[in-house]
Chain A
């Protein structure tokens, strides 16, 4: 008789399964939303929420997983938007080439910035990216003849029809695809190198991890995703202006990631979607929304460092442990 006991599923595996099921349910809800009779306006808002979901999650990849702060994400998205517009208008590339071109373009910019300042420790990346964002925004605003400055530049539409649902599903697909690619990278050995770098650069280097190379890779990778997101956004909104690269816009992305949970790309993405919806819900109170979000960011950082969704997931895990 075989007396070997069956392996007991570990609590971590059970929690992972529970989170996986919950994630699939959330995706199912987003797929079902257009069939629930939701107003077209809210379909439009959710589509923009997916855009912010991509930006918040790819920003959290640098901050939450590699432990480096960047304020260039909105600028990267803007560069992707302008890059795709120029590629599709000036160079007459079809959009299926112009959008990847935007990703490559922002990736190269990210690579250049990464090589410039990721060898340095501390706050240098953060400070450099603030300066970079402002330089890019001011240059685009000033070069009126090429970019039409703050009037904005018209972009060709992604689809011939103006069907909001078509855009909704496209953005949902781009969000899911970018999350999948990031997740695959993070669960590979590269994700482990990121964690080692975040925890202690010197220890990681002493164990053979090429710290600078992987920091530059993370920054370039997240820049590519931001650039592609910006390109899709441009061809959805069909008019982009330098304001999409402002530090206020960067503040939105930061708030979304922090409130959602910047140590997990999925929670950060949810933060992007939910906060975009809340921004619209609270539109009546005008600029006070920003003050409220700022206060919420401070409170979340103090009392729920894993973000609201991260905190909720931890609560579910604790229920699992108790049962």
Chain B
């Protein structure tokens, strides 16, 4: 069976810095892949290449057999690749519901009332339905993360790229986000999750890929990665089993 997402030898350089150094990966449809690594290891750069925000210097990526490297982000969103950002990027000066209408109305065949109904349903599911008519600027950081979730749910994506979704989020909201991610994945959506929250990574992901200095240093089941001395060395500067508990 062909993998849904295939990346072959991706290289991305910024001047003298090689942010992605010959990165290859394959993801089956419906997989939930964790992407970890120290700061500056190339995780977000990989997401930016896969979502069309960066042009790879070399290498190619395919989604459902079609080349995606070098395509515009909006085109990739139309093909079912959605993403969130490390620093939340909500549209602050429009209402919460209008934030969801933007992706909903991108499809010109969609009627406004149907999109509004769907948007309200998603907001209710995320337990922020009561904020629908208020300005997005008044949301807390955690609510803004949920709103980003909601926006990409409007796209009914096949592949979701989540960049640090749990950063600065209240534990209760985090549990809600876990439920939504599981629910999404349970319905067949492929997910790549970047997080420094190892509890979430090992709790949610079926496979974990580790990057260091732009290279893949591990790509295995969570329990294997957790005890991989190379990963421990990269993350903590030690192969000590004690320190490994942090992972």
Contact = CB atoms under 8 A, between A and B. Distances in A.
B98 A202 contact: no
B14 to A, nearest CB: 17
A202 B85 CA distance: 9
Interface residues of B, number: 31
B89 A200 contact: yes
Contacts of B82: 206-207
Nearest to B105: A189
Contacts of B93: 195, 198-199
Interface string A196-238: 1011101111111111000000000000000000000000000
A90 to B, nearest CB: 41
Contact of A195 (B94, B108, B133, B154): B94
Contacts of B73: 202, 205-206
A130 interface: no
A196 B93 CA distance: 9
A207 B101 CA distance: 10
Between B53, B74, B93, the greatest number of chain A beta carbons within 10 A of the residue's beta carbon is seen for B74
**At the interface, is chain B mostly helix, strand, loop or mixed?**
loop
A195 B102 CA distance: 9
Contacts of B85: 202-203, 206
B155 A199 contact: no
Interface string A134-155: 0000000000000000000000
Interface residues of A, number: 20
B91 A203 contact: yes
A209 B94 contact: no
Contact of A12 (B108, B133, B152): B133
Interface of A: 10, 12, 189, 192-193, 195-196, 198-200, 202-211
16 contacts: A192-B105, A195-B91, A195-B98, A199-B90, A199-B93, A200-B91, A202-B89, A203-B90, A203-B91, A204-B102, A205-B52, A206-B51, A206-B83, A207-B151, A207-B155, A209-B106
Interface of B: 51-53, 72-74, 77-78, 82-83, 85, 89-94, 98, 101-103, 105-108, 112, 133, 151-152, 154-155
